[in-house]
Amino acid sequence: MIAWGRMVRSLTFGLAIAVVAIGLLPFLVVFLMSDLSGLIELDSTPFFAFASKFIRWGK
Please provide residue 23's backbone torsions phi and psi, each rounded to the nearest 5 degrees: -70, -30
- Amino acid letter for position 11: L
What contacts 49, CB < 8 A, 6 or more positions away? 43, 58
What would the pLDDT profile of 7-47 be if each residue is shown by its tens digit?
A: 999 999 999 999 999 998 888 888 787 777 666 665 556 66
Alpha helices in 1-59 (DSSP H): 4-36, 46-55
pLDDT at 58 over 50: no
Note the pLDDT of residue 31: 79
Note the pLDDT of residue 28: 84
